[in-house]
Amino acid sequence: MLELKTHVVDISLPENCNVVVGQSHFIKTVEDIYEALVTSAPGLEFGIAFCEASGDCLIRHDGNKEDLEKAAIVNAQKINAGHVFVVVLRNGYPINVLDRIKNVQEVCRVFAATANPLQVLVSESEQGRGVIGVIDGFPTKGV
């Protein structure tokens, strides 16, 4: 019998940062997202982490600010799901980079792009882990 466990992963960000969480399918994802970001907005600071889903199953990473790269790695480790990437941004907003990220050929989807408190819902089976959704921010309080 197949058993699934569901985990709620809280994303932690440095102050005044945004995060983009998505899924890709190729080992070169970090390099390609780096190129997309570095040419998208002047003054943008970022860190990227990507969870490999085969072979060595390492977390690949890069960025132009060490603290943001470390934050991306920590969040990717907590999510720990194959082919998921985490981009932490400062001095820019997702609206500045989202189309560029979505246009990276190997990017399959973006789960969230936000500065709000973010929880990633992760399901785990005997094979591995996968993102099933996100909780972005808080419930509405009225109309």
- Domain segments of the chain: what residues? 5-136
What CATH fold (topology level) applies to the domain 5-136? hypothetical protein tt1634 (3.40.1520)
Q: What are phi and psi of 109, to 5 degrees?
A: -165, 160
Neighbours of 100 (CB within 10 A): 17
Per residue of the chain (143 residues), give pLDDT as tens: 688 999 999 999 999 999 999 999 988 999 999 999 999 988 999 999 999 999 999 999 999 999 999 999 999 999 999 999 999 999 999 999 999 999 999 999 999 999 999 999 999 999 999 999 999 999 999 99
Q: In which residue are the tokens 């408190």 written? A: 117
Assign 45 to helix, strand or coil: strand
